[in-house]
Structure 1
Amino acid sequence: MESTLENLVQQAKEGSREALESLVQGIQDRIYGLALRMLGYPADAEDAAQEILIKVVTRLESFRQESAFTTWVYRIAANHLLTTRKRLAENQAVSFEDYEALLGMAVASEWPESVPEAERSLVVKEVMLSCTHGMLLGLDRPQRITFILSEIFDISSQQGACILDITPAAYRKRLSRARDRIRTFMLKNCGAVNAENPCHCEQVAPFAIQTHAMDPKNLLFTGHRRRDDGGRLSMAYLEELDSLQRMAALFKNHPDYTAPETCLANLKELVRSRRIGIFEGLH
């Protein structure tokens, strides 16, 4: 995969529009997936992904193969996501303490008749996905991106340190703090980590609908474009894992989200319009 991308980079540098478009297509999903987990809302993630893709293609000439191309791309994406203005979900995010208080209000209730039984499992899964996204937003941006890179994208401490331009020791320390914050919260509250805990997605789901915190006709995450559904974890499997492994498994179990079609379409239009000087020599 990496060698294919670097071949496309070389062809794009030589002026191939087709190679540039293929290159964007090859990296857009991972950029969008990172943006979605950092910003928490699909529309904001789409905007950020397009901004990052434009930075990548306009800086392509500066890629000197001193690192893997994907590392270079992640570095551009990380810098953008760490410095971009706060978006909708971040402005609505709450601390872990406030989050715990909110979950304590989500008492078990009956499903509204408006939600057919066949659709309820999707709503329960949406609660799980929304909750883990909410936990990510409870971290500050540096801890959040470190946790996402390592726990969800399986990036090593060495590569992660290169992406964030910090030492491996500093990266591991930041990752440890992020893990501790999320693990402490989940060990105390999450029923998927410990069945004796008070919060269970099956109980929160009908409460979320009744209080209009969630719209069953507009599910942000379970209704999202994806290559892979995720959501295959069973309680039997989780019971075989220790608490840290369970926590990581729940985050990795998210669907493999794909970027909206407009990401590539908008960039293609920009390339073909030649409104940016770097695109003028493409053929």
Structure 2
Amino acid sequence: MSGDRYAEQRTPDEVDELARRARDGDRDALELLLTEVRPRTLNVCRGVLPYSGDAEDACQEALMNVAAKIGSWGGRGRFTTWLHVVAVNSARTTYRRMKNQATPSDVLPMERPDPRTTSVIAGTRLDLLEAMETLEHDHPQYVEPLLLRDVYGLPYEEIAAQVGVPLGTVKAQIHHGRRLVRPLLRGDG
């Protein structure tokens, strides 16, 4: 396996093998892995944060978290599923930090998308992030499965393996999470 191959050319098994080697302390494998997954990580962050600079910051944070916490990847599911969780959490942390640092003059009234007309999949994710913040406050167990399924389209089986709960529980969490989030996205919740 050549180190100069693009991430999309590596098979999921090859990425998992790199991750196992990195988890086991192989520094060269870790560097290769971080290079391989950077484009995927940036895409995940861009899916949550609409501005490139913010997504880049979140991506960098995610990659640092991967390097620091690679030992917590249990190897039960695909490494890329675990990576999605790390990237989403980094993007959400970046969003929270920016939200807490923002002053009223930083946000123009027209910059905030109308959640009734903004597509969650095709448009900006600010309305989704607000909904996830609300959901996390009252029902944190629904947030991760809902994001992994509805935003990133991961299969239920991978989500169940990642969050460590039975498949039926994951499906129920996603169903209940959707029900709770739907009115928040329409702006009437």
TM bucket (normalised to shorter chain) is 0.5 to 0.7
Alpha-carbon shift at residue 63 of structure 1 (Å): 2.8
Determine if contact 2:62/2:86 at 8 Å carries over to the other structure.
yes
* 1:99 paired residue number: 114
Alpha-carbon shift at residue 56 of structure 1 (Å): 0.7
* 2:90 paired residue number: 80
- The alignment's TM-score, normalised by the length of structure 2, stands at 0.59
* 1:23 paired residue number: 33
Determine if contact 2:145/2:173 at 8 Å carries over to the other structure.
no
CA RMSD in angstroms comes to 4.0
Residue 65 (structure 2) pairs with residue 55 (structure 1): yes
For residues 256-275 of structure 1, what are the structure 2 equivalents within 5 Å?
Answer: none
In the TM superposition, what whole-angstrom CA distance separates every residue of 1:52-95 from its partner, at most 9, and x where no partner exists? 1111112223333122212222233334344443326x96498x
Determine if contact 1:146/1:175 at 8 Å carries over to the other structure.
no
Match of 1:140 among 132, 141, 153: 132
Going from structure 1 to structure 2, the CA distance change for 1:58 and 1:178 (only over 3 Å counts) comes to: same
- The structure showing larger relative contact order (alpha-carbon pairs under 8 Å, at least 6 residues apart) is 1
* 2:154 paired residue number: 155
For residues 35 and 93 of structure 1, the distance between their equivalents in structure 2, rounded to whole angstroms, comes to 23
Going from structure 1 to structure 2, the CA distance change for 1:146 and 1:7 (only over 3 Å counts) comes to: closer
Going from structure 1 to structure 2, the CA distance change for 1:145 and 1:29 (only over 3 Å counts) comes to: farther
Match of 2:175 among 158, 172, 175: 172
Alpha-carbon shift at residue 145 of structure 1 (Å): 6.4
Alpha-carbon shift at residue 24 of structure 1 (Å): 1.3
Q: Give structure 2 stretches of 5+ with no counterpart.
A: 1-10, 137-141
For residues 82-231 of structure 1, what are the structure 2 equivalents within 5 Å?
Answer: 82-84=92-94, 85-87=96-98, 92=107, 99=114, 132-133=123-124, 134-137=126-129, 139-141=131-133, 142=136, 148-160=147-159, 163=162, 167-168=169-170, 169-179=172-182, 182=185
Residue 47 (structure 2) pairs with residue 44 (structure 1): no
Alpha-carbon shift at residue 40 of structure 1 (Å): 2.4
For residues 163 and 78 of structure 1, the distance between their equivalents in structure 2, rounded to whole angstroms, comes to 13
Identify, as 1 or 2, the structure richer in helix. 2
Determine if contact 1:32/1:49 at 8 Å carries over to the other structure.
yes
Going from structure 1 to structure 2, the CA distance change for 1:59 and 1:145 (only over 3 Å counts) comes to: closer
For residues 235-254 of structure 1, what are the structure 2 equivalents within 5 Å?
Answer: none
For residues 128 and 171 of structure 1, the distance between their equivalents in structure 2, rounded to whole angstroms, comes to 19
Alpha-carbon shift at residue 8 of structure 1 (Å): 1.1
Residue 75 (structure 2) pairs with residue 65 (structure 1): yes
Determine if contact 1:71/1:159 at 8 Å carries over to the other structure.
yes
Count of aligned pairs: 156
- The alignment's TM-score, normalised by the length of structure 1, stands at 0.43
Q: Give structure 1 stretches of 5+ with no counterpart.
A: 104-126, 186-283
Question: Which entry has the higher C-alpha Rg, 1 or 2?
Answer: 1
* 2:139 paired residue number: none
